[in-house]
């Protein structure tokens, strides 16, 4: 299984409710993925302050404040750290790629799991709703959020194997299913210089999409290329600094439902995760078609 939920808000008055709405959606999907969970929030002003970049990392060997002090000295700017075990968040007035590079050099054993101007990624092992509450997701705000509950198929149950996979700036990809040809695609990407963090099949999809985006391909085209390249089962929710997208494989046996109103676009593995959204009774609700790419822009 695995459970996916995502919410792209169009109506700014709903931004303060993003975390509460997403937590309720995630709670409905706990039984689809009890192993571990993760979430990506776009625009929370405490985790990703305006004008600063944010880096999320796993398994930081030192307290966030200590790492932040070291980074502040080496980058000559103020870096702030937040401990949300096992995730650590760092933000500062410095480019996201520069902050991520500095983190990798100061704490090479830690794993960068997200970076960007607007994005915070949180992941962990355990009951998804317990993790969400521990991270403080219910009080998060923002304009877009994605969450995932994992039942592992392709790699061990670890925080690094949990979704989202966020491997490009402000990008996030979550997956229900399993890719059947991911090893050959991974080897090709490695020959092209792409470096992987985990043995997970979903990371291959995320690295493939990130590579296309980095080369200037737009998100819709990148997902069409993914359709042409990847075999297996997949429902994917992919988000970027300004977009929210859904794509499924040709057979589409992994469930997905989309609901859309003037105020928001939401996607989930099952309708029950959408049932409490405000105004859902008047939403346009549909099941995404096989191999069709759906993209909404901010």
Ligand X SMILES: NC(=O)CC[C@H](N)C(=O)O
Residues involved in catalysis: 2
- Are the CB atoms for 52 and 22 separated by under 8 Å? no
Counts of helices then strands in the chain (DSSP H, E)? 7, 15
Q: Is 36 among the residues that bind ligand X (CB under 6 A)? A: no
Select the span of 195-203, 207-215, 223-231, 261-269 touching ligand X (CB under 6 A). Answer: 195-203
Q: Least distance in Å: CB of 264 to ligand X? A: 25
Give the integer Cα–Cα distance in Å for 170 and 9.
17
The correct pick among 154, 170, 249, 270 for binding ligand X (CB under 6 A) is 154
The correct pick among 46, 152, 199, 295 for binding ligand X (CB under 6 A) is 152
Rounded to the nearest angstrom, the gap between the alpha carbon of residue 183 and the centroid of all alpha carbons in its chain is 22
The correct pick among 8, 91, 123, 175 for binding ligand X (CB under 6 A) is 175
Give the integer Cα–Cα distance in Å for 236 and 256.
9
Q: Is 150 among the residues that bind ligand X (CB under 6 A)? A: yes
Select the span of 57-65, 131-139, 150-158, 207-215 touching ligand X (CB under 6 A). Answer: 150-158
Cα atoms in the 13 Å half-sphere on the side-chain side of 74: 16
* Phi-psi domain of 154 (left: phi exceeds 0; alpha: psi -120 through 50; beta: other): alpha
- Are the CB atoms for 127 and 34 separated by under 8 Å? yes
Select the span of 72-80, 122-130, 176-184, 257-265 touching ligand X (CB under 6 A). Answer: 176-184
The correct pick among 70, 80, 178, 263 for binding ligand X (CB under 6 A) is 178
- In the complex, the residues that contact ligand X under the rule CB under 6 A are 1-2, 150-155, 175-178, 200-202
């Amino acid at each position: 299984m695995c459970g996916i939920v995502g919410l792209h808000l169009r109506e700014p008055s709903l931004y303060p409710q993003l975390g509460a709405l997403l937590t309720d959606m995630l709670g409905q999907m706990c039984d689809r993925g009890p192993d571990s969970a993760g979430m990506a929030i776009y625009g929370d002003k405490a985790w990703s302050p305006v004008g600063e970049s944010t880096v999320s990392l796993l398994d930081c060997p030192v307290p966030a404040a200590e790492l932040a002090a070291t980074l502040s000295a080496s980058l000559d700017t103020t870096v702030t750290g937040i401990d949300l075990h096992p995730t650590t968040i760092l933000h500062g007035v410095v480019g996201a790629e520069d902050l991520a590079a500095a983190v990798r050099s100061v704490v090479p054993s830690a794993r960068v799991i997200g970076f960007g101007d607007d994005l915070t990624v949180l992941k962990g092992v355990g009951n998804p709703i317990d993790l969400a509450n521990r991270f403080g997701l219910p009080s998060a705000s923002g304009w877009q959020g994605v969450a995932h509950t994992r039942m592992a198929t392709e790699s061990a149950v670890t925080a690094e194997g949990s979704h989202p996979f966020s491997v490009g700036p402000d990008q996030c990809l979550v997956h229900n299913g399993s890719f059947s040809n991911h090893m050959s695609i991974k080897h090709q990407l490695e020959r092209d210089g792409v470096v992987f963090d985990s043995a997970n099949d979903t990371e291959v999809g995320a690295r493939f999409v990130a590579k296309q985006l980095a080369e200037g391909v737009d998100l819709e085209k990148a997902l069409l290329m993914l359709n042409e390249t990847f075999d297996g089962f997949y429902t994917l929710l992919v988000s970027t600094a300004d977009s929210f997208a859904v794509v499924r494989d040709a057979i589409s046996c992994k469930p997905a439902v989309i609901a859309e109103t003037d105020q928001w676009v939401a996607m989930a593995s099952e309708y029950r995760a959408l049932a409490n959204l405000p105004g859902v009774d008047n939403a346009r609700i549909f099941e995404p078609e096989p191999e069709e790419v759906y993209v909404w822009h901010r």
